[in-house]
């Protein structure tokens, strides 16, 4: 590629980056303005007086939702990763009659829209006395995430040589011992992909939360929606901008801190078919 072409490509990429960062700039700048300066007419200008009052109000308003989101996303992603790992191991290394049919049914679950299962899922949670609870939301997310987690782990474990499993069988290792001693120690990349994927999906979920949850179990996405323009005489733009940043901060940090592991997992074959 010639130097002018490379420069043109970099310039185009820079334009896209700037366009992407414009809303982020407005969010950050407005969140640090006092209430009397937080106005759409001055959204582009820096604050005359930097203030964290909007952040304090945002934290007070969203703290219960943030705590619920942490409970749901962390617990649900860990359970999903463990179940997906076990399913992927059995479907890739301990094949049984009809394994391909079972795996196809798992994949079919990936294409069922949320709306199609919402009413029967709500009835099931009600019968289990889990409706409106954090445990119910975790169960819903785990069940709906099993197909993609199984796919990730199955395709990753397919890259592990079958000779290692056969050697462990010759040495007298059973299914669980072979999994614990051989497969699990090399499963880091697949776990990284699955945990990041599930954590992000559960943290950003709104439909399950608003339909299956209750005020005591609402995550941050529902509380953020409820606080936006909640009938106040004057819209507190600084607080709302801070709330939007506060709600998105955990997923941003996850990708900043663990993004390289996510890419390594993809490159290691976690999503190869």
Structural domains for the chain: 62-267 (1.10.3720.10)
**Distance in angstroms (rounded) separating the CA atoms of residues 25 and 44:** 8
**Distance in angstroms (rounded) separating the CA atoms of residues 7 and 67:** 46
- Find the mean pLDDT for residues 193-197: 91
Predicted confidence at residue 234, as pLDDT, reads 62
Does residue 270 carry a pLDDT above 50? no
Predicted confidence at residue 118, as pLDDT, reads 87
Residue 156 and residue 187 in contact, taking contact as beta carbons nearer than 8 Å: yes
**Distance in angstroms (rounded) separating the CA atoms of residues 254 and 70:** 12
Write out pLDDT tens, residues 198-246: 999 999 999 999 999 899 999 999 999 888 755 555 678 888 899 999 9
Does residue 67 carry a pLDDT above 90? yes
**Distance in angstroms (rounded) separating the CA atoms of residues 214 and 133:** 7
Predicted confidence at residue 169, as pLDDT, reads 80
**pTM, rounded to two decimals:** 0.85
**Distance in angstroms (rounded) separating the CA atoms of residues 222 and 65:** 8
The mean pLDDT of the chain is 86
Write out pLDDT tens, residues 97-136: 888 888 888 888 888 888 888 888 889 999 999 988 999 9
Residue 102 and residue 91 in contact, taking contact as beta carbons nearer than 8 Å: yes
């Amino acid at each position: 590629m010639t130097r002018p072409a490379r420069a043109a490509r970099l310039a185009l990429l820079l334009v896209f980056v700037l366009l992407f960062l414009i809303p982020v700039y407005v969010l950050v700048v407005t969140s640090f303005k006092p209430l009397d300066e937080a106005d759409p007419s001055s959204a582009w200008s820096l604050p005359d007086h930097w203030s964290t009052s909007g952040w304090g109000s945002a934290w007070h308003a969203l703290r219960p939702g943030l705590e619920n989101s942490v409970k749901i996303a962390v617990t649900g992603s860990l359970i999903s990763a463990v179940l997906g790992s076990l399913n992927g191991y059995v479907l890739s290394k301990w094949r049984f009659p009809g394994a391909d049919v079972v795996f196809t049914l798992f994949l079919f679950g990936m294409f069922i829209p949320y709306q199609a299962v919402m009413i029967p899922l709500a009835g099931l949670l009600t019968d289990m006395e889990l409706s409106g609870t954090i445990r119910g939301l975790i169960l819903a997310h785990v069940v709906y995430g099993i197909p993609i987690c199984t796919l990730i782990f199955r395709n990753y474990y397919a890259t592990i040589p079958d000779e290692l499993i056969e050697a462990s069988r010759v040495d007298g290792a059973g299914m669980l011992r072979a999994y614990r001693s051989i497969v699990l120690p090399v499963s880091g990349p697949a776990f990284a992909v699955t945990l990041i994927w599930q954590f992000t999906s559960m943290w950003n979920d709104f439909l399950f939360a608003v339909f299956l949850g209750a005020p005591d179990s609402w995550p941050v996405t529902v509380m953020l929606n409820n606080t936006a323009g909640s009938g106040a005489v004057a819209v507190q733009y600084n607080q709302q901008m801070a709330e939007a940043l506060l709600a998105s901060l955990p997923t941003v940090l996850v990708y900043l801190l663990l993004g390289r592991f996510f890419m390594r997992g993809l490159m290691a074959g976690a999503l190869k078919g």
